Structure 1
Amino acid sequence: MTNPSAASPTDNTTWRRVLWAAMLGNVVEWYDNALYGILAVVMSRTFFPDGDATVALISTYLGLILSYAIRPVGGTLMGRVADFKGHKYVLTLTIMLMSVGTVGIGLLPSYAAIGVVAPVLLALCRLIQGLGASAEYTIATNFLLEHGPQRKRNLLSGVSVGSTSLGPLLASGLAYTLIVTLPASSFDSWGWRALFLLAAPLSLVTVYIRRRTTEAPAFQQVLEEAKRHQVKQTPFKEAVSKHWRDMLRSIGLGAGQRVGSFMIQSYFVTALVQNGFGEDKALLAAILTYLVGPPAAIWGGRIADRHGGKKLLVTGYAVFVVATVPTFLAIESGSLLFAIIGVVSFTIINNVIGGPLTTAYVMSFPPHVRGTAAGLNYNLGTTLLGSTSPLLAAWLVGLTGTEVSFGFYMTAICLVSALVAAFALPKAIDEARVSGGRTPAAVGATSGATS
């Protein structure tokens, strides 16, 4: 048996395709996701009955949660398929499902046209989009890390994190352009729909590039050895039974950053609008956050590769603990300058820690269960803590009358993540395992397989 870690390196042409395939997939996923958050106020008016605006907005955010509720199941299923059939196959499937769900939203009739069927169809589209997105980020990053040099893993993870800001940047920029150029009635009737329909050409380009990529040599060997020796693979059973501690640590480690990401992508625009800054100024603030996101993530990845992911994560979360409440104070200060400084600073911190955090999500597990385990732990944390954050924020603000109430909640979450980073960090951060020092034969043996 040959050791998969000894496989030949990926050639430059294939490597460039893999890089673009991973980045464009992230762009499509987060374009879709950010668009729903950015347009939450407009969509609440379109797909829900007139009456209480807060109830309509909360109902819209429930649609956001719904698309994430399916992700732990979808991520596990997609990850299992990836462990059996390869990453390339799943990455083509995920992008197609995401585009169907997103384009479908752009074509849906309003509540005024079809009544209660409108929010039901909206929920269905969000479920389809969530199923596609469930394994997109972790498998695309896994694909990227397996092809790339080990010494630059956190940098590559930072590039992956940075590319997630490009989708929201595109969504915010296009939304802002239409809002300032179209009459309000036109934007409310059809302008927002055009933004969802643009997901189609983005997805087609991504599918084309992904179909021209190949599996990493190391992972291809694992698949071939399992097939040759008729190994019975049980990635979900092994992930849950043997790697549950690593999954729990990864969820705790990422909790603060997951909440922060949803604040940036799905709530800050709404908060700024509701605090009197107007949709155009709120979108300008959002565009600034997406502009600073990629360089912050890449810089954080470089620092982690040079000085260690643990140091960066502990420091980053410590800053988050101190800075979160002031961020929400700035949003309701009435000063646009203070609000922008608060939101942009918040975004920089959130993206700087993203590189080593992503490395932990993916590389904490051996290759033969990585798709399943990484998809499960990432999606559980994202669903339970991240996707519920905008809804919780809207509820707390309605209950207390102040944005700061949610700031205290997030501070507590970041404190938990800081403690995990300091005392229970998965070893993959600074000592990533490519194959766990195991050959494909050993992989089969540890999964309880017989040949």
Structure 2
Amino acid sequence: MSNESSVAAEQGTAPAAGASHNHNPSPNHTVSKDTRRRVVTASFIGNFVEWFDYAVYGYLAGVISTVFFPESDRQTALLATFGVFAISFFVRPLGGFIWGHIGDRLGRKQALSLSIVLMSVATFCIALIPGYATIGVMAPILLLLVRVVQGFSAAGEYAGASAFLVEYATANRRGLYAAVVPASTAAGLLLGSLLAALLSSVLTAEQLNEWGWRLPFLLAAPMGLIGRYIRTKLEDTPAFRELAEKDDGVKAPALAMFRTYRKQLIIATGAVLLNAVGFYVILSYMPTYLSEELGFGATESFLATTIALASYIGFIFLTGIASDKFGRKRMLITASVLFILLTVPAFMLLDTRNFLVIVLVQILLGGMLTLNDGTLPSFLAELFPTKVRYTGFAVSFNLSNALFGGTAPFMATLLIGMTASKLAPGWYLVAAAVVSLIAVLFAAETSKKPLLQD
């Protein structure tokens, strides 16, 4: 039995007789170093733009809660703000199916070019919505509608960019190439955090509430146009072009995924759980946690998260390299075990209220998260064959993020209120790590093997 057949057998898929399982690029689709460089650049910039747009809401949650919701106690307003944040995630599984269908049927490039336009327009519109004091209940309703559009757009981005990079990469560097996706996501978060820190330090609270919070959202339009322009200048991936030339795709990728690749779908959804909860608790919710729950100043909270994000970006590429060397499964298992053992002690240290300790703890948590996040894109892309890769990735990634990622800030705030314990978000992270560990244990190792095509 060949390596590829072994992988298929381990993952619960029986290749059809005479089918070609592997992606071995034909001479017509050889890729130059210059092309790969442009692919990496375009993927980084496009993903950076989308996730800057998407993340600014989380960093400005405290201000948004006062602008869009009626006067009430602070925790209720925050719950309402994070509730809107969570509801926008519920459309993401639907978006995963639709973007997956477009990406697997019409091409990765087509899906990615459309998604960035939607995200940029929706984010720009947030800057134009009047507050509750001006239009009453229509303010949070309009905010919710725009966030739903953002959620739908984001559903196609992470999966599409990952599939794009993995299909362009050489077999021994797929982990490194795919690590560009979480790195660019963190870079978008980093810019959002820097802008939030800058605005909170140079503007008065009144100026920030009245108009300052709108400025980052206004940047969405020009940034989105730049990202889309760069993407339209690329060819689609060699793997997809070969599939299209052979007319070997499937008319209903989602149906094919559920019919043939159910085990991979379950494994992928479980494996994403640590990423979903960890990403939004550690990199998005943390400034709010530090300021609202621990009493830190807004500027200090944003600064601590900004430092942690910068270190995260550096760690993520090291993780991508390590996953190419040691394998996806080993890296993902290590990440889960570390979170199970160290998360609650780390949250205990946050309560010391010492700025240096808080920065070091956030760097530690971010570094642990990179072991998962830097490995996950290549792992998920390698689980599924070319004809359903975008769909399989997008549906599993967005389903887990909808149920547990988008709700993470809401759940963290709610659990703190219910338990009166500031450690509640830490225990929530531990539970996510346990589920991810179990899922990964059932997966086959996919690194260093040809991509599955059928």
Query: Which of the five TM-score ranges fits, normalised by the shorter chain?
Result: over 0.9
1:373 aligns with 2:392: yes
- Name the CA distance, whole Å, in 2 between partners of 1:286 and 1:24: 22
1:435 equivalenced with 2:449 (yes/no): no
SS at match of 1:352: helix
1:361 CA drift (Å) = 1.6
For residues 218 and 389 of structure 1, the distance between their equivalents in structure 2, rounded to whole angstroms, comes to 36
Deviation at 1:417, TM superposition (A): 1.6
Distance 1:161-1:167 versus aligned 2 partners, 3 A rule: same
1:110-189 alignment, distance < 5 Å: 110-189=131-210
Is the counterpart of residue 243 in structure 1 residue 264 in structure 2? Answer: no
Counterparts of 1:2-13 in structure 2, within 5 Å, are 5-7=24-26, 8-13=29-34
Residue identity opposite 2:407 in structure 1: T
| Structure 2 residue aligned with 1:418 | 437
CA distance in 2 between partners of 1:217 and 1:156 (Å): 15
The AA in structure 2 aligned to 1:375 is A
Distance 1:376 1:181, change over 3 A: same
Distance in 2 (alpha carbons) for counterparts of 1:146 and 1:298:
18
SS in 2 for 1:425: coil
Q: CA deviation at 1:51?
A: 1.3
Report the Cα distance in structure 2 between the residues aligned to 1:71 and 1:139, rounded to whole angstroms: 14
Amino acid at match of 1:136: E
For residues 345 and 394 of structure 1, what CA distance do their matches in structure 2 show? 22
Q: Does 1:294 align with 2:282?
A: no
User: Contact conserved, 2:329 with 2:444, CA < 8 A, in 1?
Assistant: no
Distance in structure 2 (CA, Å) of the matches to 1:308 and 1:362: 14
Report the counterpart of residue 130 of structure 2 in structure 1. Answer: 109
The equivalent of 2:104 in structure 1 is 83
Q: Map residues 201-220 of structure 1 onto 2, 5 A cutoff.
A: 201-220=222-241
When residues 145 and 107 of structure 1 are mapped into structure 2, their CA distance, relative to the original with a 3 A threshold, is same
Could you say which residue in structure 2 is the equivalent of 1:96? 117
Contact kept, 8 Å, 2:176 with 2:324, in 1: the verdict is: yes
Unaligned runs of 5+ in 1: 439-451
Q: CA deviation at 1:425?
A: 2.0
Written as runs of structure 1 = structure 2, the 5 A alignment for 1:224-263 is 224-226=245-247, 233-263=251-281
Give the partner amino acid of 1:240: F
In the TM superposition, what is the alpha-carbon distance from 1:12 to its structure 2 partner? 3.0
Unaligned runs of 5+ in 2: 1-18
Q: Deviation digits for residues 32-90 of structure 1, max 9, x if unmatched?
A: 22211110010000000001221111111111112211010011111101111111111
SS in 2 for 1:134: helix
Q: Percent identity?
A: 34
Alpha-carbon distance, 1:4 to partner: 5.3
User: 2:375 matched to 1:356?
Assistant: yes
The ranges of structure 1 where at least 4 consecutive aligned residues each deviate by more than 6 angstroms after the TM superposition are none
Distance 1:371 1:206 in 2: 20
CA distance in 1, matches of 2:365, 2:41: 28
The residue aligned with 2:349 is: 330
Q: Is the 8 A contact 1:37 1:265 kept in 2?
A: no
| Among 332, 335, 338, the residue aligned to 1:316 | 335
- The 8 Å contact of residues 328 and 379 in structure 2, kept in 1 or not, is answered as no
Q: 2:405 corresponds to which residue?
A: 386
Rounded to whole Å, the distance in 1 between the matches of 2:132 and 2:241 is: 49
Kept in 1, the 8 Å contact 2:44–2:181? The answer is yes
1:387 Cα deviation (Å)? 1.1
Partner of 1:407: 426
> Would you say the 8 A contact 1:259–1:410 is kept in 2?
yes
Instruction: Tell me the distance in 1 between the aligned counterparts of 2:202 and 2:374.
Output: 37
Match of 1:16 in 2: 37
Q: CA deviation at 1:299?
A: 0.5
1:445 is aligned to none
Aligned pair partner of 2:300 in 281, 284, 299? 281
* Alpha-carbon spacing, 1:60–1:432, altered in 2? closer, same or farther (3 Å): farther
Aligned 8 A contact 1:72 1:376 in 2: yes
- 8 Å CA contact 1:247–1:373 kept in 2: the answer is yes
Q: TM-score w.r.t. structure 2 length?
A: 0.91
Distance in 2 between residues matched to 1:291 and 1:272, nearest whole Å: 18
Rounded to whole Å, the distance in 1 between the matches of 2:89 and 2:252 is 25
Q: Does 1:269 align with 2:320?
A: no
CA contact (8 A) 2:104 2:253 kept: yes
- Alignment partners' CA distance in 2, 1:291 and 1:330: 21
Q: Displacement of 1:11 after TM fit?
A: 2.3
Letter of the 2:176 partner, please give it. Answer: L
Q: Which amino acid aligns with 2:80?
A: S
What is the aligned residue count? 432
Residue 446 of structure 1 is matched in structure 2 by none
Question: Which of 66, 69, 85 is matched with 1:45 structurally?
Answer: 66
Closer/same/farther in 2, CA of residues 182 and 96 from structure 1, 3 Å limit: same
| TM-superposition CA deviations, 1:84-123 (whole Å, max 9, x none) | 1111111110000101111111111000000000000000
Instruction: Give the 3-state SS of the residue equivalent to 2:127 in structure 1.
Output: helix
Moved more, 21-30 or 235-244: 21-30
